[in-house]
Amino acid sequence: MAYKILEKEEIAPSVHRMVIDAPDVAKAAKAGQFIILRINEKGERIPLTIADFETENGTVTVIFQEMGKTTKQLAKLSAGEFLEDFVGPLGTPSDIEKLGTVILVGGGVGVAPAYPQAKAYSKAGNKVISIIGARNKDLLILEDEMKNASSELYIATDDGSKGHHGFVTDIMKQILDSGEKVARVVIIGPPIMMKVGTGVASPYDVEILVSLNSIMVDGTGMCGGCRVTVDGKTRFTCVDGPEFNARKVDFVELMNRLAMYRGEETKAVEKYDEECRCGLH
């Protein structure tokens, strides 16, 4: 069964939004889950977090950044074309309940998985304070969507081109220092951002969750490629996560594992770019 691409747009430089016709996935999807897709029968399997889903329309939205060979290939596809595989929903859904005030922190493309959580926490009756950030204003994504799904929205850019000149964690600390009674902080973004954010929030009496993006192959717990250490024990991101208690995650090990295949990934991209220049793609 092939999966039709219904919509495709570049929402920021090298960041793309894709809406897929996948009724079965949409029907079962919940905030915090992900899918694994394959472009064609010879393609690699890559995990992408579900950025949105519409049960009635049977659609699932994913947002991805051009990084490796497969995401570059994916970016070249257009509406009307098809994906070979689109498997999901995978992973354990986010633990959404009425808690009071929840801070959602999204960095870069980490704003994409934060969006369905903002909607779900708001629907559950929480006050949702969202903080989104990027290197500059041109790289910000889903600003209007996050604003509509949140009680309050704050923006940070590294270069000060929009919102707070600095990091999302600066704003998070200001809110925690303000005396606002916060029940939970959810941080989603690059591993180093989640590590730093966890360190900033740890002194406060607040639950801290992170959504981990690790190496994956099958997405069902069989290969063990996505293993992470949480509270001194081995966990599989694909079935035990992707959401974990941030205070217990070994971020150093996570980042080291993510860097394991960087050399091979670089070679694959270089070969693909060369083939594109030669007109082979």
Q: Given this model, what pLDDT does residue 207 score?
A: 96
Please name the fold of domain 94-205. Answer: Rossmann fold (3.40.50)
Q: CA end-to-end span of the chain, whole Å?
A: 24
Residue 260 has pLDDT above 70, yes or no: no
pLDDT band for position 261 (cuts 50, 70, 90): low
Q: Given this model, what pLDDT does residue 13 score?
A: 94
Residue 224 has pLDDT above 90, yes or no: no
Burial pattern 16-41, b for ≥16 Cβ within 10 A else e, equals bbbbbbbeebbeebbbbbbbbbbbee
Q: Give pLDDT tens digits for 2-55.
A: 899 999 999 999 999 999 999 999 999 999 999 999 999 888 888 999 999 999
For residue 242, say if its preceding peptide bond is cis, omega within 30 degrees of 0.
Answer: yes
Q: Which residue has the higher pLDDT, 278 or 152?
A: 152
DSSP structure class, residue 181: -
Say which range, 66-70, 133-137, 174-178, has the weakest mean pLDDT.
66-70
If one looks up domain 3-90 in CATH, what number appears? 2.40.30.10
Contacts 24+ apart (CB under 8 A), 262-269: 265/68, 265/69, 268/68, 268/69, 269/68, 269/69, 269/72
Q: What is the mean pLDDT of the chain?
A: 90
Residue 144 has pLDDT above 70, yes or no: yes
Measuring CA to CA, how many Å separate 31 from each of 21, 123, 170? Answer: 18, 12, 26
Q: Give pLDDT tens digits for 50-61.
A: 999 999 999 999
What is the Cα–Cα distance from 101 to 123, expressed in whole angstroms? Answer: 13
Q: Given this model, what pLDDT does residue 275 score?
A: 65
Per the annotation, where are the binding residues for [2Fe-2S] cluster? 223, 226, 238
What are the domain boundaries of the chain? 3-90, 94-205
Residue written as token pair 């270069």: 159
Q: Give pLDDT tens digits for 87-103.
A: 999 999 999 999 999 99
Using CB atoms within 10 Å of the CB of residue 278, give its burial: 0 to 12 exposed, 13 to 18 middle, 19+ buried.
exposed
Q: Give pLDDT tens digits for 150-183.
A: 999 999 999 999 999 999 999 999 999 998 999 9
Mean pLDDT of 223-232: 86
Per the annotation, where are the binding residues for FAD? 63-65
Mean pLDDT of 60-84: 93
Map residue 142 onto helix, strand or coil: coil
Q: Is pTM, for the whole model, over 0.85?
A: yes
pLDDT band for position 227 (cuts 50, 70, 90): confident
Q: Given this model, what pLDDT does residue 203 score?
A: 95
Q: Given this model, what pLDDT does residue 270 score?
A: 63
Residue 220 has pLDDT above 90, yes or no: no
Per the annotation, where are the binding residues? 63-65, 223, 226, 238
CA 217 to chain centre: 17
CA angle, 267 as apex, 221 and 40 as ends, to 5°? 55
Mean pLDDT of 141-148: 96
Mean pLDDT of 142-156: 96
